[in-house]
Structure 1
Amino acid sequence: MYDNLCKYLIEQFPEDFATWLLGETIALAELSPKELSNEPIRADSLILLQGPDIILHVEFQTRPDPKMGQRMADYFLRVHRKFPNKRMHQVVVYLQKTNSPLVKENKFKAGKMQHGFNVVRLWEKPIEDFLESPGLLPLALLSQTSDSVEQAEEAQQLEVLRRVAQRIELIPDQETRANLNAATAVFAGLKLKPELVFRILRSKTMEESAVYQEILRQGEQRGIEKGLREGRQKGRQEGRIGILRQIIPFLQGFGVPIEPLLKFVGITLAELNLEEEQAEKD
């Protein structure tokens, strides 16, 4: 889910990310990984954008990957082979705070070969970096919090979420607001309980947003993939139920009607074991 949300943000707001990651405002267009090689390439978290003389390669990660350096070197060579006259800027953005030394690694060595790349740990970046650009707003809650001992961490995060919500409400376009609200809620879920997020973020147009539609698509796809792996229809149904158990409370918190979704997938609230929770909320 986080991979696709990050892809959505950077593809919809390329100039915001160019200014943040490159330090310059330039026009960037999406570059498909398929253009680099006929060989298989891992594209689930790979984001490539190109400008007149530059390629921006960004990877968003929720957890450390011991093979990240090797992947970055591999992608660099593929891009260089295809676009030898363009400079390449590579960034790994880690979303969740961790003490793993892997998130500090920014080089890959193999024999005499050495390749370097950039690393951004969001929890070390000041909040102000994310509050002035619409495309970066959903990431603000994952940035650096105050060191003040007088304010609990949860209270600080709620205050940041309020500031983000206020800025999103100033955006004129309704669809953009709905998408950014949904993306912000998902990322906020990495730091806060859903009920706290729902108190601040509300959107009646959530079901019309691209982010909402992507959540539905992922739920369907996960069910299909599990069914294929197990070779029986039960896998598909179990996959749907599993993802819906996560999604339904999220949607209910925003006041989004869930009946059309349940009817579409052919599952009842009772089958999700969420009937009692719904009754309590009613």
Structure 2
Amino acid sequence: MQSRTIRSTNNSDYDRIFKENIDVMLPSIAGNMLNMDILKEEGLPTDIQHTKERKPDFLKRVWNREGKASILHIECQTRPDPKMRFRMAEYYIMLLRKYEIPVKQYVLFLGKQEHQMETDIKMGNFEFNYSIKSFIDIDYNYLLNNSSAESKVFSILCNFNGDSLDVVVGRIIQGLREVTTGITYNKYLNQLGILSQLRKNNNLFEIIMNYEPRFTKEYNPFYQGGKAEGLVEGRAEGLVEGRVEGLVEGRVEGLVEGRVEGMIKGAKETSRKIALRLKEAGIPFEQIAKATELSPSVIKRLKNTDQ
């Protein structure tokens, strides 16, 4: 069998997936990972500005069962950051100044290795601390048995507790099939492939492909047979924070922060074929319309006649 490798993924890819899924996952992880009993929650703007602007990964005002409110701040981290405690302290002061209620802070570590990040500061009269929780410390069954696709996808980062890779992947994919279909299923399948890279095991990616024949270079832009290949004319340069960075000469150059930045030049496939590929990858119709000049209603009706 031909050797396959996986494209090195930008940290913002994982960050984007975390931000897309954390809202739905919060009830699953609040009690088990954060030791919080949340009765009610309220979304807050994630732009914090005083002398400088900071944008937390996740920010909400929450209430416990006693009716006491606090600010819940969560950051997603895939690699150890030796300056993380100072970053969190900066967020803490800005949030406390703005809302004037208790601030609870957590870093959710997605990596497989030990993070070894310090969680407190004690300098002179200043003392500060926050908490780090690692997915690898959680039994994967806890998230897998949750009804949401978001939680099932993130179970790939948890502790397998002796179960084989083949068993775990099979259960996750079966779980996704039970709660999603069509484009939505493809979206979470792609996320599963991306997150699997954090376990640093090429066999894991290969097993996903064995369970799901559609999980190939066509459906997952991070798969490569020696080099990055993908969505249009067999190539994609990558998914980064949710926007298409360009369709140039029939290739998707990347998805970056939610909007199409490129333009189609010399595409060897028709606009409808390009739109269909993007639709199957889970890209919003509005973004596809900008890239292909097709109306959202036309894009909605597109179907793959080869299936």
Fold shared by both chains (TM-score > 0.5): yes
Which is richer in strand? Answer: 2
Task: Determine the structure 2 residue equivalent to 1:200.
Answer: 211
1:41 and 1:6 map into 2 onto residues whose CA distance is 21
**Paired letter, 1:196:** I
Query: For 1:232-269, what per-residue CA distance to the aligned partner results, in whole angstroms no more than 9, with x for missing partners?
Result: xxxx97xx87759xxxxxxxxxxxx9855699989xxx
Query: Which of 113, 120, 130 does residue 126 from structure 2 map onto?
Result: 113
Which is richer in helix? Answer: 1
Instruction: Report the TM-score, using the length of structure 2 for normalisation.
Output: 0.59
Task: Determine the structure 1 residue equivalent to 2:268.
Answer: none
Shift of 1:160: 1.3
Task: Determine the structure 2 residue equivalent to 1:48.
Answer: 59
The reply on whether 1:4 has 2:34 as its aligned counterpart is: no
Task: Determine the structure 2 residue equivalent to 1:67.
Answer: 83
1:29 and 1:203 map into 2 onto residues whose CA distance is 39
1:121 and 1:162 map into 2 onto residues whose CA distance is 23
What residue ranges of structure 2 are gaps of 5+ in the alignment? 1-12, 64-68, 221-230, 232-237, 256-271, 279-287, 293-307
Confirm or deny: 8 A CA contact 1:189 1:197 kept in the other structure.
Answer: no
Shift of 1:58: 0.9
SS in 1 for 2:53: coil
Shift of 1:200: 2.5
User: Matches of residues 94-243 of structure 1 in structure 2 within 5 Å?
Assistant: 94-102=109-117, 105-133=118-146, 134=148, 135-146=150-161, 148=162, 156-171=164-179, 176-191=184-199, 192-193=201-202, 194-201=205-212, 215=239, 218=242, 220-221=244-245, 243=254
SS in 2 for 1:64: coil
Task: Determine the structure 2 residue equivalent to 1:29.
Answer: 42
Structure-2 change in CA distance of 1:217 and 1:2 (3 Å): closer
Structure-2 change in CA distance of 1:179 and 1:265 (3 Å): closer
Structure-2 change in CA distance of 1:5 and 1:74 (3 Å): same
**Paired letter, 1:166:** Q
Task: Determine the structure 2 residue equivalent to 1:273.
Answer: none
Confirm or deny: 8 A CA contact 1:61 1:94 kept in the other structure.
Answer: yes
The reply on whether 1:79 has 2:104 as its aligned counterpart is: no
Confirm or deny: 8 A CA contact 1:15 1:28 kept in the other structure.
Answer: no
Shift of 1:31: 1.8
Query: For 1:168-205, what per-residue CA distance to the aligned partner results, in whole angstroms no more than 9, with x for missing partners?
Result: 2222676654443332221123234333322224679x
Confirm or deny: 8 A CA contact 2:106 2:132 kept in the other structure.
Answer: yes
Q: Percent identity?
A: 21
1:16 and 1:74 map into 2 onto residues whose CA distance is 28
- Higher RCO (CA 8 Å, separation ≥ 6 residues): 2
Q: CA RMSD in A?
A: 3.8
**Paired letter, 1:46:** D
**Paired letter, 2:239:** I
Instruction: Report the TM-score, using the length of structure 1 for normalisation.
Output: 0.64
Shift of 1:17: 3.7
* 127-136 or 61-70, larger mean C-alpha shift: 127-136
SS in 2 for 1:2: helix
Structure-2 change in CA distance of 1:265 and 1:158 (3 Å): farther
SS in 1 for 2:72: strand
Task: Determine the structure 2 residue equivalent to 1:58.
Answer: 74
Task: Determine the structure 1 residue equivalent to 2:105.
Answer: 90
SS in 2 for 1:33: coil
Confirm or deny: 8 A CA contact 1:141 1:157 kept in the other structure.
Answer: no
Task: Determine the structure 2 residue equivalent to 1:277.
Answer: none
Query: For 1:3-25, what per-residue CA distance to the aligned partner results, in whole angstroms no more than 9, with x for missing partners?
Result: 01001101344433434424424
Confirm or deny: 8 A CA contact 1:18 1:26 kept in the other structure.
Answer: no
